[in-house]
Structure 1
Amino acid sequence: MAPRAKASTETAEPARRSSRISAQPAKVVEAVKETVKKATAPRTKKRSADADEGDGGESAPAVKKVTAPALEPINIGDTLPSYIVKNEKDEDVDVATLAAEKGVILFLVPKADTPGCTQQACGFRDIYPDFASLNFDVYCLSADKPAAQSKWQTKKNLPYPLLSDPQRVLITALGAGEGGKTKRSHFIFEKGGKLVDKKIPVKPVDSPKLALEFVKSLAPSAAEA
C-alpha cells in the first residue's frame, strides 16, 4: 500500500504548481499587458512630429526656404547690378551685361498674356525698329516663369527677349515690387548701364510712346556712341 501512496503524491504535484500560477492577482497581469502595449506601439507619428520641429529626424527632414539676396535700390544715375535672371528660353542672363553694347529699355508688366500687359508689350513690338535704329535694345521683365513668357512671346510675335524674375528681386530694386505684385513701369538705361529715366507707374498705352520720346531726346549722344 505504501508505493501507491507515493505515486499519488507525485501526480498531485503539477496540479499545485498550476494553482499557484492561476492565483496571480489580476492587476499584475494587466500591468504586464500595458508594458507590452507601450513597448510595441508604433513610433512613426512621434518621429514625424520631431522632424517637423527641425531636430534632424531622418524620416522627414525639415525643408528650408531659400530666399534670393536683396539688391540695393536702383535710382537715377545708378547702374544695372550683376544679377542672374532667366530669359524666355530658360537661359541665364546677367542683367549687368545688357547695356554693354547698347542702351536698354526695360519695361515691366504685372502678368504675361493679360489685356493691359499685352497692350503694353505689343506697343513696344510695333515701334521696336525705332528703338533699334537709335541703338537701344528692348527687354520685358516680369515675375512669370520662362515657359509662360515663351508662350506669350510666340502668341504675340514679340521680337525682344522676356526676362523672368519670379522672386521680384530686380523688380523690387527698381522700385516696382510691392505686396507681391509688379507695378507697370519702364526704365531706360544708357549704354554702359546707367539709369537715366523711369516711369512708374505708367499706363499700358503710354509706356512705349513715352520711352521712345525720351530715347529720341538722347539721339545726338546715342548716335555718337
Structure 2
Amino acid sequence: MSSTDALADAATAPRRSSRSSVVQSTGKSEADAAPTAKKRKAAAAAAGDDSDKPAKGKKKAKADAVEAEGEAEAGEPAEEEEGKLGPIDIGDSLPSLTLKNEKDEDVDVSSLTADKGLVLFLVPKADTPGCTTQACGFRDIYPDFTGLEYNVYCLSADTPAAQSKWQTKKELPYPLLSDRKRVLITALGAGEGGKTKRSHFIFEKGGKLIDKKIPVKAGDSPKIALEFIKAQASTE
C-alpha cells in the first residue's frame, strides 16, 4: 500500500469518542453511572428534608409561644376579676381597697372614714380645665368641709406623679388617690368605657354612703356637696 492510500484510510477511519475512553478508564458504563447519580440526588434530597425539619420545628415553637402568650393575655382579666368590687350604692360602706396617693404611698380607703366623714370627688383627668375648676372649687371652701368634720379626697385614674404635679401647681390642700385600673371608680358607678365620669360621693363617719351625684357639673360639685353636709348636720 502506498503512502497516499494509507493517509486516505486514516482520514476515513471512525474516530473513537473521548467519552468512551473515560468510561473504559473508570471501568463503569453510562448505564452504571445513572443509578449512582440518582442515589446521590436522593441522598441530597433527603438531606434537604432533614435540614427543613429544624426550621419547621422553630416555626411550630414560635406558634406555640404566641398561642401561650395569647392564653396568658386572655387569663389576665381573671386576675383583674379578683380585684373588682361589687357596686357601691346608697347605704353601702367603703370597701377595704389599697390605692396609691399622690405621694405614691399605700392608702386603705376603708380607713378614710374611721374618724370623720368623707367627700370623695372624681375627675376624668388631672390638670384639665373642667377638672381644675372642680378641684379648685373644693380647695376654696375646704375649711368649710373640715369644720363639719369631713375630709376631702380627689379620686382619678391618673398616676401619683401626675396628681402630685397638679396638687403643687394648684395648691390643692387635700390628698389625691390614684385608681389606675378604675376599680373603685367602677364600683361607684363612675367608670364607663375606660373613662371616669365627673362625680362626687359623700360617706358619713364609719363609711356608709349617704349621697352621690353622678354626673355633676364641675362648678356645681363643691357647692352641692357642702350644702348636703350642712343639711345633714342640721338634722342631727
Range with greater deviation from structure 2 (113-122 or 88-97):
88-97
Task: Flag the 1:29–1:81 CA change in 2: closer, same or farther, 3 A.
Answer: same
Deviations 1:43-95 (A, max 9, x none): 433211111122x9xxx995552425321111111110111111112221111
Distance 1:180 1:61 in 2: 23
- Correspondent of 2:225 among 211, 216, 220: 211
Residue 24 of structure 1 and its aligned partner are, at CA, apart by 2.7
- Report the structure, 1 or 2, having the larger helix content: 2
Q: In structure 2, what is the equivalent of residue 35 of structure 1?
A: 46
What is aligned with 1:175?
A: 189
Specify whether residues 14 and 81 from structure 1 end up closer, same or farther in structure 2 by C-alpha distance, changes over 3 A only.
Answer: farther
RMSD: 2.7
CA apart distance, 1:39: 2.2
**How many percent of aligned residue pairs carry the same amino acid?**
64
Match of 1:123 among 126, 137, 141: 137
Q: What is the TM-score of this pair, normalised by structure 1? A: 0.82
Change (3 A) 1:110 1:23: same
Change (3 A) 1:44 1:119: same
Greater gyration radius: 2
Counterpart residue type for residue 164 of structure 2: S
Change (3 A) 1:22 1:163: farther
Q: How many residues align?
A: 207
Shift of 1:30: 3.5
Which of 12, 35, 46 in structure 2 is aligned with 1:24? Answer: 35
Instruction: Determine the C-alpha separation between the residues in 1 that align with 2:150 and 2:218.
Output: 20
Matches within 5 A, 1:45-64: 45-54=59-68, 62-63=72-73, 64=75
2:154 partner letter = C
Match for residue 153 of structure 1? Answer: 167
Match of 2:179 in 1: 165
Structure 1: distance between partners of 2:200 and 2:122: 6
Check the 8 A contact 1:51/1:61 in 2, yes or no: no
Distance in 2 (alpha carbons) for counterparts of 1:109 and 1:27: 79
Mark the runs of 5 or more structure 1 residues left unpaired by the alignment.
1-11
Deviates more, 1:69-78 or 1:203-212: 69-78
Listed one character per residue, the Cα deviations across residues 177-217 of structure 1 (whole Å, up to 9, x for unaligned) are 11211110000001000111111110000000111111112
Structure 2 unaligned spans of 5+: 1-22
The 3 A distance-change label for structure 1 pair 61 and 110 is: closer
